């Protein structure tokens, strides 16, 4: 029984990080058909993957007061989670809700989150498939009302609120009132919902919100890794049963969860579709960088090294060093590691514009964020630090082209 619970919790965490609010995939697979488990299954036009093939799951968060009202609502969060059973790697691609795409049956390009309102999960799956050019096998739809219950179930989640968050919308259903102060704090159910729903005040608009959601995910995952979570499983199971809808059979989900039982946090890569906001006919859209999208898809799904699409890294090191700016942040428990790393980069000729600490959660893995499409430079620095993964993380609030967040793995 102890071994089973360990497998269950580890697999649960792996699939948790895949989800927009974090906590409900594997556990829901262990329940019988319930209120939140749709009786009317949508079959993907791509069919189902073979036993050892990569599986792609569209995860959406819907901001609605109940299951019924969520059926034709616009999606508030969209992520494509892809799991390779052979490499045991999980990649999570966040798609900004305002991404301007082609939606089947519509005359003009629209925001991708409209697809769900027009045609439910079936059309949402097709919109993501057409946008990324990859199959979408399954979906998992989560009502945000579940998040508050989950947060209370685990005893709150500690995060760093990056700015004062204040917003009020009496017309929302339910009415939306947000009032959070900047700083590190433990969020209860009410405050967690405010944190996740806030989007109007970020300088970089939807990208800032996605980054905040990622931080929340990691903090929640850390909380769920605690052995004490086992005592809370009954409450979590009831929550999942009530608020999760999926077309993935229970046996299939359990099978993937078992295959993912040995995945570590460093095996999970979170990336956001690159692009920029643009005002078109009075509406703000997120215009995706399709070259960047192609690079992401090639790297994840086709195993291609995108180096041939960029300037050769080794031949141009001396040229790029004085063109790229770098910031180094300490997200670990290792004192002085950010300064040490920054000094090493300075010795190599890079311009370090900021050295500091990450407030809030601690990172187990070192992350490199390519903030301004500096692909070759990011690759060079990753090689210097022996970091395998580079993440696209456009952030207009930082003056650095590349951000390095040091994790505890730098001890090695």
List the one residue out of 349, 395, 388 whose CA is nearest residue 371: 395
- For residue 10, the model assigns a pLDDT of 36
pLDDT digits 0-9 by tens, 340-375? 998 888 888 888 888 888 876 778 888 888 877 777
- For residue 136, the model assigns a pLDDT of 95
Q: Confirm whether pTM is higher than 0.75.
A: no
Are 26 and 253 in contact by the 8 Å Cβ rule? The answer is yes
> Would you give the DSSP letter of residue 95?
-
Neighbour tally for 230: CB within 10 Å:
13
- What is the number of residues in the chain? 412
Are 306 and 389 in contact by the 8 Å Cβ rule? The answer is no
| Chain position carrying tokens 């370090």 | 352
Are 87 and 54 in contact by the 8 Å Cβ rule? The answer is no
- For residue 280, the model assigns a pLDDT of 93
- For residue 15, the model assigns a pLDDT of 45
> SS3 of 258, please?
helix
Read off the tokens for 54: 């990569």
Are 344 and 328 in contact by the 8 Å Cβ rule? The answer is no
Domains of the chain with CATH codes: 2-146+208-276 (3.40.630.190), 307-411 (3.30.70.2390)
C-alpha 76/C-alpha 15 separation (Å) is 19
List the one residue out of 365, 331, 325, 329 whose CA is nearest residue 346: 325
Residues of the chain with pLDDT under 50: 1-39, 305-322
- For residue 4, the model assigns a pLDDT of 37
- For residue 216, the model assigns a pLDDT of 80
Pairing mode, strands 55-62 and 138-143: parallel
- For residue 108, the model assigns a pLDDT of 92
């Amino acid at each position: 029984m102890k071994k089973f619970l360990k497998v269950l919790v580890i697999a649960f965490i792996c699939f948790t990080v895949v989800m927009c609010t974090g906590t409900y995939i594997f556990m829901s697979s262990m329940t019988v058909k319930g209120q939140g488990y749709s009786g009317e299954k949508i079959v993907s036009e791509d069919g189902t993957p073979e036993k050892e093939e990569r599986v792609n799951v569209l995860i959406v968060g819907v901001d609605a007061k109940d299951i019924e009202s969520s059926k034709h609502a616009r999606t508030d969060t969209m992520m494509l989670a892809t799991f390779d059973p052979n490499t045991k790697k999980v990649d999570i691609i966040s798609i900004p809700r305002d991404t301007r795409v082609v939606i089947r049956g519509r005359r003009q390009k629209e925001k991708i989150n409209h697809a769900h309102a027009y045609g439910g999960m079936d059309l949402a799956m097709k919109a993501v498939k057409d946008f990324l050019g990859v199959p979408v096998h399954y979906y998992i739809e989560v009502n945000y009302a579940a998040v508050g219950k989950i947060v209370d179930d685990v005893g709150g989640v500690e995060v760093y609120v990056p700015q004062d968050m204040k917003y009020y919308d009496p017309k929302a259903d339910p009415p939306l009132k947000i009032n959070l102060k900047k700083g590190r704090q433990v969020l209860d159910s009410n405050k967690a919902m405010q944190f996740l729903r806030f989007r109007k005040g970020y300088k970089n608009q939807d990208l800032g919100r996605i980054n905040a959601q990622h931080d929340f995910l990691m903090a929640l995952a850390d909380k769920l890794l605690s052995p004490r979570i086992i005592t809370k499983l009954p409450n979590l199971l009831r929550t999942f049963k009530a608020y999760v809808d999926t077309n993935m059979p229970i046996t299939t989900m359990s099978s993937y969860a078992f295959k993912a039982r040995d995945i570590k946090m460093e095996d999970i890569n979170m990336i956001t579709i690159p692009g920029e906001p643009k005002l078109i006919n009075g509406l703000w859209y997120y215009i995706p960088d399709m070259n960047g999208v192609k690079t992401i898809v090639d790297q994840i799904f086709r195993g291609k090294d995108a180096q041939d699409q960029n300037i050769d890294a080794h031949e141009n090191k001396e040229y790029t060093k004085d063109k790229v700016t770098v910031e180094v942040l300490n997200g670990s428990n290792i004192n002085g590691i950010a300064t040490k790393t920054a000094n090493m980069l300075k010795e190599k000729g890079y311009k370090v514009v900021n050295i500091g600490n990450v407030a809030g959660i601690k990172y187990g893995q070192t992350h490199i964020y390519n903030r301004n499409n500096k692909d070759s430079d990011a690759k060079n620095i990753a090689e210097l630090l022996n970091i395998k993964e580079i993440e696209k993380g456009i952030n207009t609030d930082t003056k650095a082209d590349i951000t390095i967040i040091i994790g505890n793995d730098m001890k090695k």
